[in-house]
Structure 1
Amino acid sequence: MASSPPNPNPNPIDSRVAKTSPIFINSDTFPLILTHESLIRHFQTNLPTLSSTITTPVRQNYTVSPPSSLLLMPSWSSSSSLPYMGVKLVTHFPQNSSMNLPGIHASYTLFSSITGQTLASMDGTVLTLYRTSSISGLASKILARDDSQVLIMIGAGALAPHLIKSHLAAKPGLKRVIIWNRTPQKARDLAETLSGDDQHKEITFESSDSLDEIIPIGDIISCATNSTVPLIKGKNLKPGTHLDLVGSFSREMRECDDAAIRRGRVFVDNEAAMEEAGELVGAFERGVMKKEEVGGKLVEVMNGEKTGRKSSTDITVFKSVGSGTVDLLAAQLLYETYVSK
């Protein structure tokens, strides 16, 4: 009996990466196919198993003309269940504020790690908003108290509504959101906008002009600012608070004081936070805490390698600076959802 002919394609290409024409996913498409809840769930399912398969080199930062810069953030996976490579290109032009333009713009390109084909380009700015807020939401889900009812949002920029929605998705028991911003009208405008969202009719959205009044009542405090002066005073944190620090990404930036770091059990999204975040770098330099006293990375808590919240009175602090790992996982979910529609 004749033997069967050899398989001409012993390693068939995954249908997810066999596309011949790259697609473009614009900012308007994101909310149609992606929710903060679905991305939190995607991270919770895949970070523990796939993060170790993803290579993410240190981001490259080039000065274009001071103070403007170009950042390159590549990552790729060796897992067959994540057959992708991705690169995020970010421009930082702080002088844009004088022209009423955002200071940061980004684009993300997704490639097949099997064929090298370009699969998709997508709005990297919006991708960053979703992935950053959803990592904070995941940390809140794991570290914040389940009976949390009051969310304090410090900052009312582009990231703030995403953070609010992510924390609400992570902790359904939240009933009240109070927003503070250096420009009080921006906080009032955001509260009014969110109050008109049919998805959160049961939530009370309000604004406040006084940080000292609202910090002591927060169960979850999320901070997304460019502040170089500590806004959160540790002495004002009540026992059991979960503090989510998102804004700082350089040694000069700082959203909370040393007392907050000293009182809290600190967790990070990745090791870069201990080299880049002003709150932590400063705390190490001033002897407030040692690097080895950091409670661990979020994925280590998820894997049971490190212990998260130990009691209802613990103050937990989560500091994130972002990474190509979560960019790649977010792009995966967005791309696969898009092509399956």
Structure 2
Amino acid sequence: MQTIDARKVHALLPYEALIPALRRSHEGERPLADSQVMDDPSGSGNRFVTLPGWMEGGMVVVKMVGVFPANRDRDPPLGSVLGAVAGFDGETGAPLLVADGEAMTYRKTAAISGLGAALLAPPEPRELLVVGAGGLGPHVAMAHMAARPSITRVRIWNRTPQRAETLAADLRAQAFDAQPAPDLDAAVARADVITCVTMSTAPLVKGALLKPGAHVDLVGAYMPDMREADDDVMRRGTLWTCGGDSIGRCGEVTLPLASGALVREDIRGDLFALVQGRDAGRARADEITVFKNIGGAHQDIFATAILRDRLEA
């Protein structure tokens, strides 16, 4: 059994390779997948998530991660999503590999958003706005730039301005034009592509400010009380999802459904339909596209299978 640390995960799964590989994975059937979320019985707000999945004729994959938001405030800080991804032989059940769960989660999540942008974003966007400067921030920035190489400017907003500046400095060190965006509303109005990676329980992106043709990628809000975009984003935009099972528990979808800003028929489709050509995606240059990245064990299966292939290459 192989053990793959975070450094090796990141080296083996560059977004320029991972996004096209995930696209090919969506050409077939969706794997069998499940999930279990356990809340800390002490009421701390921490959660532990177990995501098992089985690809027919392929691997069994189980991701086990803790979601501990306060970790980033520790001294020294820790990642807020820590754990492991284990892969097993689908014929014998024998363990094949264990990979760093944080690195796999970051790579998989950002690449899925990148795939959504590759399929739905305007063809030549110039400015990317990253809302949230936590652990996922640099990854969604890199994934979107890999999906849409025409992006030349990255702007970053965070509730704590210093974190936005730190992320911008890290990207500038890699020769990208990256700057903090102190005024979120103004940055939303300028952006061609917006990606949100927060744990906000109140809408941050105002749909009334979106420019025609913008693409909005919503990642962070994964629980019923979380939300990153207001009702106007859903009213003005056309919504697709990644095909995750948690759509019924995701506040980004359930809250606008409850308000009437969204009806079930407004959810246009998912990545499987887009990749397989059953959905044509963006229909007009001025259409506002919205992609809700919900996650799911099927994505972890795809990413783990890609990792194993690249280990053996």
Q: Name the SS for the 2:240 alignment partner.
A: strand
Of the three residues 265, 285, 288, the one matched with 2:261 is 288
Deviations 1:198-225 (A, max 9, x none): xxx3x41111110111111100000100
Structure 1 residues 189 and 69: CA distance shift in structure 2, 3 A: closer
- Show the 5 A alignment for 1:256-271: 256-271=229-244
Specify the alignment match of 1:92 in structure 2: 67
Deviations 1:241-279 (A, max 9, x none): 000000000110000100011000000011535312212
Structure 1 residue runs of 5 or longer lacking an equivalent are 1-21
Question: Equivalents in 2 of 1:128, 1:221: separation in Å?
Answer: 20
Specify the alignment match of 1:310 in structure 2: 283
Question: Equivalents in 2 of 1:285, 1:64: separation in Å?
Answer: 28
Of the three residues 141, 158, 161, the one matched with 2:135 is 158
Aligned pairs, how many?
309
Q: CA RMSD in A?
A: 1.4
The AA in structure 2 aligned to 1:155 is G
| Structure possessing the higher radius of gyration over alpha carbons | 1
Q: Does 2:250 match 1:277? A: yes
Specify the alignment match of 1:232 in structure 2: 205
- Show the 5 A alignment for 1:1-341: 22-49=1-28, 51-52=29-30, 54-57=31-34, 59-65=35-41, 66-67=43-44, 68-79=46-57, 83-99=58-74, 100-197=77-174, 201=175, 203-340=176-313
Could you tell which deviates more after superposition, 252-261 or 84-93?
A: 84-93
Q: Name the SS for the 1:177 alignment partner.
A: strand
Structure 1 residues 332 and 282: CA distance shift in structure 2, 3 A: same
Structure 1 residues 183 and 64: CA distance shift in structure 2, 3 A: closer
Q: With structure 2 as the length reference, what TM-score do the two structures score?
A: 0.95
- Indicate if the aligned counterparts of 1:138 and 1:170 stay in contact, CA closer than 8 A: yes
Deviations 1:128-156 (A, max 9, x none): 10000000000101100111111011111
Structure 1 residues 149 and 97: CA distance shift in structure 2, 3 A: closer
Q: With structure 1 as the length reference, what TM-score do the two structures score?
A: 0.87
Question: Equivalents in 2 of 1:177, 1:231: separation in Å?
Answer: 18
Could you tell which deviates more after superposition, 102-111 or 307-316?
A: 102-111
The AA in structure 1 aligned to 2:114 is G
- Indicate if the aligned counterparts of 2:51 and 2:297 stay in contact, CA closer than 8 A: yes
The AA in structure 2 aligned to 1:25 is I
Deviations 1:65-87 (A, max 9, x none): 323332210001113xxx21110
Q: Name the SS for the 2:66 alignment partner.
A: strand
Question: Equivalents in 1 of 2:187, 2:214: separation in Å?
Answer: 12
Report 1 or 2 for greater relative contact order, CA contacts < 8 Å, sequence distance ≥ 6: 2
The AA in structure 2 aligned to 1:75 is G
How far residue 98 of structure 1 moved from its aligned partner, in angstroms, is 4.9
Question: Equivalents in 2 of 1:119, 1:205: separation in Å?
Answer: 40
- Indicate if the aligned counterparts of 1:258 and 1:279 stay in contact, CA closer than 8 A: no
Q: Name the SS for the 1:105 alignment partner.
A: strand
Question: Equivalents in 2 of 1:135, 1:288: separation in Å?
Answer: 26
Question: Equivalents in 2 of 1:211, 1:96: separation in Å?
Answer: 26
Question: Equivalents in 2 of 1:208, 1:94: separation in Å?
Answer: 23
Question: Equivalents in 1 of 2:228, 2:122: separation in Å?
Answer: 22
Identity of aligned residues (%): 32
Structure 1 residues 293 and 168: CA distance shift in structure 2, 3 A: same
Deviations 1:31-78 (A, max 9, x none): 3222011110101112121x43x1002x11223432333221000111
Structure 1 residues 62 and 241: CA distance shift in structure 2, 3 A: same
The AA in structure 2 aligned to 1:163 is V
Structure 1 residues 73 and 273: CA distance shift in structure 2, 3 A: closer
Deviations 1:226-246 (A, max 9, x none): 111110001100100000000
- Indicate if the aligned counterparts of 2:196 and 2:228 stay in contact, CA closer than 8 A: yes
How far residue 168 of structure 1 moved from its aligned partner, in angstroms, is 0.4
